[in-house]
Chain A
Amino acid sequence: MATPAIRIEGLYKRYGKAEALHDLHLEISQGEVVGYLGPNGAGKTTTIRLLLGLARPSAGRAEIFGLDCQRRTVEAHRRLAYVPGEANLWPSLTGAETLHLLGRSQGRVDVAYRDELIERFDLDPSKKVRAYSKGNRQKILLVAALMTRPDLLMLDEPTSGLDPLMEQAFRHSVVEARQAGQTVFLSSHILSEVEALCDRVGILRQGRLVEMGALAEMRHLSALTVEATFEGMPPDLAGVSGVVRTVVDGHHVHLEVQGPMEPLVNALAGTGVRELLSREPSLEELFLAHYGPDGAAPVSSGAPMAGGDRR
Chain B
Amino acid sequence: MTGPLIEAPSRTLDLVGRHPGMVVAGHVSRRAGRSGALWGLIFGFFIVVQTHAYTSTYKTQASRDQLAHAYASNIAVNALIGSERGINTVAGWVDWRFAGILGLLGCIWGLLTSTRLMRGEEEAGRYDLLLAGQTTRRRAAGQAVAGLGAGLLALFVLTALGTIVTGRSASVAFSTSQCLLLSVTLVSGAAMFLAIGALASQVANTRRRAASMSGVIFGIAYALRMVADTNPGLHWLVWLSPLGWIEESQPLTGPNLVAFFLMLVLVMAVTAVTLRLAGTRDLGAATLHEPGSSKPHLALLGSPAGLAARLMRPVAIGWLCAVAAFAVLIGTTAEPATKDATGSQGIEQAIGRLGGHGSAVADYLGLTFLMLALLVALVAAGQITAIRAEEADGYLENLLVRPLHRTYWFAGRLGLSTLLVAVAGIVGGLGAWAGAASQHSGTRFGSLVTAGLNVAPPGLFVLGLGALVIGAWSRRTSAVVYGYLAWSFLVELAGGVVPTNHWLLDTSVFFHMVPSPAAPPDWSSAAVMTGVGVLGAVLGGLLLWRRDLKNA
Contact = CB atoms under 8 A, between A and B. Distances in A.
Interface string A12-27: 0000000000000000
B401 A77 contact: yes
B476 to A, nearest CB: 17
Contacts of A94: 293-294, 296
A276 B93 CA distance: 99
Contacts of B282: none
Interface in B499-552: 546-549
Given A56-B547, A100-B296, A92 B303 contact: no
A136 to B, nearest CB: 11
Interface string A117-150: 0000000111110110000000001000000000
Given A54-B548, A131-B292, A102 B397 contact: no
Interface string A92-103: 111011001110
A128 B292 contact: yes
A106 interface: yes
A141 B394 CA distance: 13
Given A77-B402, A105-B404, A128-B293, A49 B548 contact: yes
B405 to A, nearest CB: 5
Contacts of A101: 301-302, 307
A74 B402 CA distance: 7
B332 interface: no
B292 A104 contact: no
B293 A124 contact: yes
A88 B397 contact: yes
Contact of B296 (A53, A84, A96): A96
Contacts of B296: 94, 96-97, 100, 125-126
A107 B307 contact: no
A92 B311 contact: yes
Contacts of B292: 127-128, 130-131
A107 B403 contact: yes
A52 to B, nearest CB: 5
A194 B424 CA distance: 55
B11 interface: no
A6 to B, nearest CB: 15
B178 to A, nearest CB: 49
Interface in B264-308: 292-298, 301-304, 307
Contacts of B395: 88-90
B290 to A, nearest CB: 9
Given A94-B296, A128-B293, A54 B402 contact: no
Contacts of A131: 292-293
B548 A128 contact: no
A100 B298 contact: yes
Contacts of A89: 395, 398
B173 interface: no
B400 interface: yes
Given A97-B296, A100-B296, A90 B404 contact: no
A210 interface: no
B120 to A, nearest CB: 12
A96 B298 CA distance: 9
Of the four ranges (under 10, 10 to 19, 20 to 34, 35 or more), the interface on chain B belongs to: 20 to 34
Nearest to A127: B293
B241 interface: no
B546 A56 contact: yes
B398 A102 contact: yes
B206 interface: yes
A144 B548 CA distance: 24
Nearest to A46: B548
Given A49-B548, A101-B301, A54 B397 contact: yes
B317 interface: no
A130 B311 contact: no
Given A54-B549, A88-B397, A128-B292, A102 B298 contact: no
B262 interface: no
A69 to B, nearest CB: 12
A88 B399 CA distance: 11
Contacts of B294: 94, 126, 128
B294 to A, nearest CB: 6
Contacts of A124: 293
B401 A126 contact: no
Contact of A102 (B297, B402, B549): B402
B121 to A, nearest CB: 15
A82 interface: yes
A205 to B, nearest CB: 23
B303 A105 contact: yes
Contacts of A78: 403
B472 to A, nearest CB: 15
Nearest to A107: B403
Interface in B194-231: 205-206
A233 interface: no
A55 B304 CA distance: 21
A110 B304 CA distance: 20
B403 A52 contact: no
A50 to B, nearest CB: 9
Contacts of B304: 105
Contact of A97 (B298, B400, B549): B298
A56 B400 CA distance: 14
Interface string B483-510: 0000000000000000000000000000
B304 to A, nearest CB: 6
A32 interface: no
Nearest to A131: B292
Nearest to B392: A88
Contacts of B123: 91, 130
A157 to B, nearest CB: 15
Interface string A47-82: 001001111100000000000000001110110111
A127 B401 CA distance: 24
Sort A-B residue pairs by CB-CB distance and give the 5 closest, nearest first.
A131-B292, A88-B394, A96-B296, A55-B548, A126-B293
27 contacts: A54-B397, A54-B548, A56-B547, A56-B548, A77-B403, A82-B401, A84-B394, A88-B394, A88-B397, A89-B395, A93-B301, A94-B294, A97-B298, A97-B301, A101-B307, A102-B402, A104-B302, A105-B303, A105-B304, A105-B399, A105-B404, A106-B403, A125-B296, A126-B293, A126-B295, A128-B292, A128-B293
Given A101-B307, A126-B295, 16 more contacts: A52-B401, A56-B548, A78-B403, A81-B401, A86-B394, A88-B395, A88-B398, A90-B307, A90-B395, A104-B301, A104-B302, A105-B304, A105-B404, A106-B402, A124-B293, A127-B292
Interface of A: 49, 52-56, 73-75, 77-78, 80-82, 84, 86, 88-94, 96-97, 100-102, 104-107, 124-128, 130-131, 141
